[in-house]
Amino acid sequence: MSAHLFSQGNLDRLLTDLVDPLLDELRERRLADRGFFLRYWDGGPHIRFRVLPSCLEAVAAVRGLIEQRAFAYFAHSPAPEVLSQEEYLHSAREIGAWEGVRPTERMYANNSVHFLPYVPEHHRYGQGATLEVVEEHFSTSSELTLELLRGTTGPEQRELAALCHLLLAWFLSAQDVHELAGRQLAKVSARRVPGAVDAVAASDARFLRRRERLLTLTATMRKVGRAWPHMPDDSSLKRWASSVSGVVDALGADACAPSAESAADLCAHLFANRVGVRIDAEGSLRYLAARAITDPAVLEGA
Protein backbone atom coordinates (compact mmCIF):
# COMPACT_ATOMS: atom_id res chain seq x y z
CA MET A 1 0.00 0.00 0.00
CA SER A 2 1.33 3.43 -0.92
CA ALA A 3 0.06 6.58 0.79
CA HIS A 4 1.29 9.87 -0.67
CA LEU A 5 1.32 12.59 1.99
CA PHE A 6 1.34 15.95 0.22
CA SER A 7 2.69 18.90 2.17
CA GLN A 8 4.37 22.15 1.16
CA GLY A 9 5.72 22.51 4.68
CA ASN A 10 8.47 20.90 6.73
CA LEU A 11 8.77 17.29 5.58
CA ASP A 12 11.15 16.51 8.45
CA ARG A 13 8.39 17.33 10.88
CA LEU A 14 5.88 15.30 8.88
CA LEU A 15 8.21 12.32 9.18
CA THR A 16 8.92 12.66 12.90
CA ASP A 17 5.42 13.71 14.01
CA LEU A 18 3.25 11.64 11.66
CA VAL A 19 5.09 8.81 9.90
CA ASP A 20 7.27 7.74 12.83
CA PRO A 21 4.47 7.29 15.41
CA LEU A 22 2.20 5.87 12.71
CA LEU A 23 4.72 3.13 11.94
CA ASP A 24 4.91 2.32 15.65
CA GLU A 25 1.13 2.18 15.93
CA LEU A 26 0.78 -0.08 12.88
CA ARG A 27 3.29 -2.50 14.38
CA GLU A 28 1.77 -2.37 17.87
CA ARG A 29 -1.66 -3.19 16.42
CA ARG A 30 -0.04 -5.92 14.31
CA LEU A 31 -1.50 -4.36 11.18
CA ALA A 32 1.77 -4.05 9.28
CA ASP A 33 5.02 -5.98 9.16
CA ARG A 34 7.14 -3.17 7.77
CA GLY A 35 7.04 0.21 6.09
CA PHE A 36 9.36 2.66 4.41
CA PHE A 37 9.24 6.11 2.86
CA LEU A 38 10.79 8.48 0.33
CA ARG A 39 10.65 12.19 -0.33
CA TYR A 40 9.41 13.02 -3.81
CA TRP A 41 8.39 15.94 -6.01
CA ASP A 42 5.96 14.60 -8.64
CA GLY A 43 2.49 16.03 -8.00
CA GLY A 44 3.94 18.43 -5.44
CA PRO A 45 6.33 17.93 -2.50
CA HIS A 46 5.31 14.87 -0.52
CA ILE A 47 6.29 11.74 1.36
CA ARG A 48 5.66 8.39 -0.30
CA PHE A 49 4.80 6.10 2.59
CA ARG A 50 4.79 2.41 1.66
CA VAL A 51 3.33 -0.13 4.10
CA LEU A 52 3.08 -3.91 3.91
CA PRO A 53 -0.14 -5.00 5.70
CA SER A 54 0.28 -8.09 7.86
CA CYS A 55 -2.51 -9.89 5.96
CA LEU A 56 -5.27 -9.24 3.44
CA GLU A 57 -7.79 -8.74 6.24
CA ALA A 58 -5.68 -5.86 7.60
CA VAL A 59 -5.64 -3.79 4.40
CA ALA A 60 -8.77 -1.76 5.15
CA ALA A 61 -7.67 -1.12 8.74
CA VAL A 62 -4.22 0.04 7.58
CA ARG A 63 -5.72 2.45 5.08
CA GLY A 64 -8.23 3.74 7.61
CA LEU A 65 -5.58 4.36 10.27
CA ILE A 66 -3.28 6.17 7.83
CA GLU A 67 -6.16 8.40 6.70
CA GLN A 68 -7.25 9.12 10.27
CA ARG A 69 -3.77 10.04 11.50
CA ALA A 70 -2.94 12.05 8.35
CA PHE A 71 -6.18 14.07 8.54
CA ALA A 72 -5.52 14.81 12.20
CA TYR A 73 -1.93 15.87 11.52
CA PHE A 74 -2.86 18.18 8.64
CA ALA A 75 -5.70 19.70 10.68
CA HIS A 76 -3.39 20.38 13.63
CA SER A 77 -0.28 21.41 11.67
CA PRO A 78 -1.36 22.63 8.22
CA ALA A 79 1.44 23.62 5.87
CA PRO A 80 1.18 27.06 4.26
CA GLU A 81 0.47 27.38 0.56
CA VAL A 82 3.86 28.37 -0.87
CA LEU A 83 3.79 26.75 -4.32
CA SER A 84 1.44 27.77 -7.12
CA GLN A 85 0.30 25.45 -9.90
CA GLU A 86 2.45 27.39 -12.39
CA GLU A 87 5.54 27.25 -10.16
CA TYR A 88 5.02 23.55 -9.57
CA LEU A 89 4.67 22.73 -13.26
CA HIS A 90 7.78 24.70 -14.22
CA SER A 91 9.83 22.94 -11.55
CA ALA A 92 8.33 19.51 -12.23
CA ARG A 93 9.12 19.71 -15.93
CA GLU A 94 12.73 20.61 -15.19
CA ILE A 95 13.17 17.81 -12.67
CA GLY A 96 11.28 15.37 -14.86
CA ALA A 97 13.56 16.12 -17.82
CA TRP A 98 16.59 15.55 -15.58
CA GLU A 99 15.25 12.25 -14.22
CA GLY A 100 13.64 11.05 -17.45
CA VAL A 101 10.18 11.08 -15.85
CA ARG A 102 7.01 12.57 -17.30
CA PRO A 103 5.59 14.62 -14.42
CA THR A 104 2.02 14.79 -13.22
CA GLU A 105 0.56 17.93 -14.80
CA ARG A 106 -1.79 18.85 -11.98
CA MET A 107 -0.44 19.43 -8.49
CA TYR A 108 -2.20 17.56 -5.68
CA ALA A 109 -3.79 19.59 -2.91
CA ASN A 110 -1.53 20.72 -0.11
CA ASN A 111 -2.16 18.96 3.25
CA SER A 112 -3.76 15.91 1.67
CA VAL A 113 -3.28 12.14 1.51
CA HIS A 114 -3.80 10.04 -1.62
CA PHE A 115 -3.45 6.30 -2.05
CA LEU A 116 -1.72 5.62 -5.37
CA PRO A 117 -0.48 2.31 -6.79
CA TYR A 118 2.90 1.05 -5.64
CA VAL A 119 4.86 -0.20 -8.66
CA PRO A 120 8.09 -1.97 -7.62
CA GLU A 121 11.12 -1.20 -9.80
CA HIS A 122 11.94 -4.76 -10.84
CA HIS A 123 14.55 -3.59 -13.36
CA ARG A 124 16.53 -2.12 -10.46
CA TYR A 125 15.86 -4.48 -7.57
CA GLY A 126 14.73 -7.81 -8.98
CA GLN A 127 11.62 -9.79 -8.17
CA GLY A 128 10.20 -12.26 -5.65
CA ALA A 129 12.45 -13.08 -2.71
CA THR A 130 15.19 -10.78 -4.02
CA LEU A 131 12.85 -7.79 -4.09
CA GLU A 132 11.65 -8.69 -0.59
CA VAL A 133 15.22 -8.42 0.73
CA VAL A 134 15.58 -5.01 -0.91
CA GLU A 135 12.30 -3.80 0.59
CA GLU A 136 13.43 -5.02 4.01
CA HIS A 137 16.51 -2.87 3.50
CA PHE A 138 14.30 0.11 2.64
CA SER A 139 12.56 -0.42 5.98
CA THR A 140 15.89 -0.50 7.83
CA SER A 141 17.07 2.59 5.97
CA SER A 142 13.86 4.39 6.96
CA GLU A 143 14.33 3.42 10.61
CA LEU A 144 17.91 4.75 10.56
CA THR A 145 16.65 7.96 8.98
CA LEU A 146 14.00 8.50 11.64
CA GLU A 147 16.58 7.95 14.39
CA LEU A 148 18.75 10.62 12.77
CA LEU A 149 15.87 13.07 12.34
CA ARG A 150 14.82 12.72 15.98
CA GLY A 151 18.06 14.46 16.89
CA THR A 152 18.81 18.10 16.21
CA THR A 153 20.87 17.35 13.12
CA GLY A 154 21.71 20.14 10.71
CA PRO A 155 22.75 19.86 7.06
CA GLU A 156 26.38 19.03 7.86
CA GLN A 157 25.49 16.07 10.08
CA ARG A 158 23.07 14.73 7.48
CA GLU A 159 25.63 15.08 4.71
CA LEU A 160 28.22 13.32 6.85
CA ALA A 161 25.81 10.44 7.46
CA ALA A 162 24.99 10.23 3.74
CA LEU A 163 28.71 10.22 2.87
CA CYS A 164 29.48 7.43 5.35
CA HIS A 165 26.59 5.32 4.08
CA LEU A 166 27.63 5.91 0.46
CA LEU A 167 31.24 4.89 1.09
CA LEU A 168 30.11 1.78 2.94
CA ALA A 169 27.75 0.82 0.13
CA TRP A 170 30.59 1.11 -2.37
CA PHE A 171 33.05 -0.85 -0.27
CA LEU A 172 30.49 -3.60 0.38
CA SER A 173 29.31 -4.01 -3.21
CA ALA A 174 32.04 -3.11 -5.68
CA GLN A 175 34.35 -5.77 -7.03
CA ASP A 176 36.80 -2.95 -7.83
CA VAL A 177 35.96 0.12 -5.78
CA HIS A 178 38.68 2.20 -7.44
CA GLU A 179 37.20 1.50 -10.86
CA LEU A 180 33.75 2.42 -9.52
CA ALA A 181 35.11 5.71 -8.16
CA GLY A 182 36.80 6.40 -11.48
CA ARG A 183 33.48 5.95 -13.26
CA GLN A 184 31.88 8.41 -10.86
CA LEU A 185 34.53 11.01 -11.65
CA ALA A 186 34.21 10.42 -15.39
CA LYS A 187 30.45 10.86 -15.13
CA VAL A 188 30.91 14.23 -13.43
CA SER A 189 33.46 15.35 -16.04
CA ALA A 190 31.07 14.45 -18.87
CA ARG A 191 28.19 16.59 -17.57
CA ARG A 192 27.11 19.39 -19.86
CA VAL A 193 24.33 20.92 -17.79
CA PRO A 194 24.43 24.61 -16.81
CA GLY A 195 26.62 25.19 -13.77
CA ALA A 196 28.35 21.80 -13.96
CA VAL A 197 31.85 23.29 -14.34
CA ASP A 198 31.34 25.64 -11.39
CA ALA A 199 29.97 22.77 -9.28
CA VAL A 200 33.05 20.64 -9.99
CA ALA A 201 35.35 23.55 -9.17
CA ALA A 202 33.52 24.10 -5.88
CA SER A 203 33.74 20.39 -5.05
CA ASP A 204 37.46 20.38 -5.87
CA ALA A 205 38.04 23.27 -3.51
CA ARG A 206 35.98 21.58 -0.82
CA PHE A 207 37.97 18.36 -1.23
CA LEU A 208 41.31 20.17 -0.91
CA ARG A 209 40.14 22.01 2.21
CA ARG A 210 39.02 18.79 3.88
CA ARG A 211 41.35 16.28 2.26
CA GLU A 212 42.89 14.89 5.45
CA ARG A 213 39.51 14.45 7.14
CA LEU A 214 38.02 12.87 4.01
CA LEU A 215 40.91 10.44 3.65
CA THR A 216 40.61 9.46 7.31
CA LEU A 217 36.86 8.97 6.96
CA THR A 218 37.32 6.87 3.82
CA ALA A 219 39.90 4.66 5.51
CA THR A 220 37.57 4.24 8.50
CA MET A 221 34.63 3.23 6.31
CA ARG A 222 36.85 0.72 4.52
CA LYS A 223 37.63 -0.85 7.90
CA VAL A 224 33.95 -0.84 8.88
CA GLY A 225 33.16 -2.60 5.60
CA ARG A 226 35.46 -5.43 6.68
CA ALA A 227 34.78 -5.51 10.42
CA TRP A 228 31.06 -4.71 10.73
CA PRO A 229 30.02 -8.26 11.82
CA HIS A 230 32.06 -7.73 15.01
CA MET A 231 30.62 -4.31 15.86
CA PRO A 232 27.95 -3.79 18.56
CA ASP A 233 24.45 -4.73 17.43
CA ASP A 234 23.07 -1.27 18.20
CA SER A 235 25.60 0.44 15.93
CA SER A 236 23.82 2.29 13.12
CA LEU A 237 26.75 1.61 10.79
CA LYS A 238 26.53 -2.11 11.55
CA ARG A 239 22.80 -2.12 10.84
CA TRP A 240 23.40 -0.31 7.55
CA ALA A 241 26.28 -2.59 6.54
CA SER A 242 24.33 -5.72 7.44
CA SER A 243 21.31 -4.56 5.48
CA VAL A 244 23.28 -3.51 2.38
CA SER A 245 25.27 -6.76 2.51
CA GLY A 246 21.98 -8.63 2.48
CA VAL A 247 20.95 -6.76 -0.66
CA VAL A 248 24.29 -7.46 -2.33
CA ASP A 249 24.15 -11.15 -1.44
CA ALA A 250 20.53 -11.53 -2.59
CA LEU A 251 21.09 -9.90 -5.96
CA GLY A 252 24.42 -11.64 -6.41
CA ALA A 253 22.79 -15.05 -5.88
CA ASP A 254 19.94 -14.33 -8.31
CA ALA A 255 21.04 -14.93 -11.90
CA CYS A 256 18.05 -12.96 -13.20
CA ALA A 257 18.56 -9.96 -10.91
CA PRO A 258 20.14 -6.66 -11.94
CA SER A 259 23.57 -5.51 -10.78
CA ALA A 260 24.15 -5.78 -7.03
CA GLU A 261 26.65 -2.91 -7.22
CA SER A 262 24.08 -0.67 -8.89
CA ALA A 263 21.39 -1.61 -6.37
CA ALA A 264 23.69 -0.87 -3.42
CA ASP A 265 24.56 2.50 -4.94
CA LEU A 266 20.84 3.25 -5.28
CA CYS A 267 20.34 2.27 -1.63
CA ALA A 268 22.85 4.97 -0.68
CA HIS A 269 21.12 7.47 -2.96
CA LEU A 270 17.76 6.73 -1.36
CA PHE A 271 19.20 7.11 2.14
CA ALA A 272 20.40 10.59 1.17
CA ASN A 273 16.89 11.31 -0.10
CA ARG A 274 15.32 10.09 3.13
CA VAL A 275 17.49 12.23 5.39
CA GLY A 276 16.79 15.29 3.24
CA VAL A 277 20.11 15.82 1.45
CA ARG A 278 19.47 17.84 -1.70
CA ILE A 279 20.30 16.19 -5.01
CA ASP A 280 23.00 18.77 -5.82
CA ALA A 281 24.56 18.28 -2.39
CA GLU A 282 24.50 14.52 -2.87
CA GLY A 283 26.29 14.97 -6.20
CA SER A 284 29.02 16.89 -4.41
CA LEU A 285 29.30 14.16 -1.76
CA ARG A 286 29.67 11.51 -4.45
CA TYR A 287 32.45 13.53 -6.03
CA LEU A 288 34.23 13.88 -2.67
CA ALA A 289 33.89 10.14 -2.03
CA ALA A 290 35.30 9.27 -5.44
CA ARG A 291 38.18 11.73 -5.08
CA ALA A 292 39.04 10.30 -1.67
CA ILE A 293 38.98 6.68 -2.87
CA THR A 294 41.21 7.47 -5.86
CA ASP A 295 43.63 9.62 -3.86
CA PRO A 296 47.19 8.21 -4.00
CA ALA A 297 47.41 8.19 -0.20
CA VAL A 298 44.35 5.94 0.04
CA LEU A 299 45.55 3.70 -2.80
CA GLU A 300 48.86 3.15 -1.00
CA GLY A 301 47.08 2.20 2.23
CA ALA A 302 44.43 -0.03 0.66
Q: For 34-50, what is each residue's pLDDT tens digit?
A: 999 999 999 999 999 99
Work out the pLDDT band at 296, boundaries 50, 70, 90.
confident
How far apart are alpha carbons 262 and 267 in whole angstroms? Answer: 9
Is the confidence at residue 198, as pLDDT, over 90?
no
Torsion of CA 66, 150, 271, 180, to 10 degrees: -170
How far apart are alpha carbons 220 and 30 in whole angstroms? Answer: 39
| The pLDDT of residue 299 | 60
Is the confidence at residue 301, as pLDDT, over 70?
no
| The pLDDT of residue 297 | 80
Is the confidence at residue 270, as pLDDT, over 70?
yes
| pTM score over 0.85 | yes
| The pLDDT of residue 99 | 86
Instruction: Considering the domain delimited by 2-115, tell me its CATH architecture.
Output: 2-Layer Sandwich (3.30)
Burial readout 141-162 (b: 16 or more C-beta within 10 A, e: otherwise): bbbbbbebbeeebeeeebbebb
Mean pLDDT for 113-120 is 95
Q: For residue 4, what are the CA distances in angstroms to 31, 46, 141, 163, 183?
A: 19, 6, 19, 28, 35
Residue spans in the chain of domains classed CATH 3.30.70: 2-115
Beta bridge partners of 115: 3
At 173-185, the pLDDT tens digits run: 999 999 999 999 9
How far apart are alpha carbons 74 and 80 in whole angstroms? Answer: 11
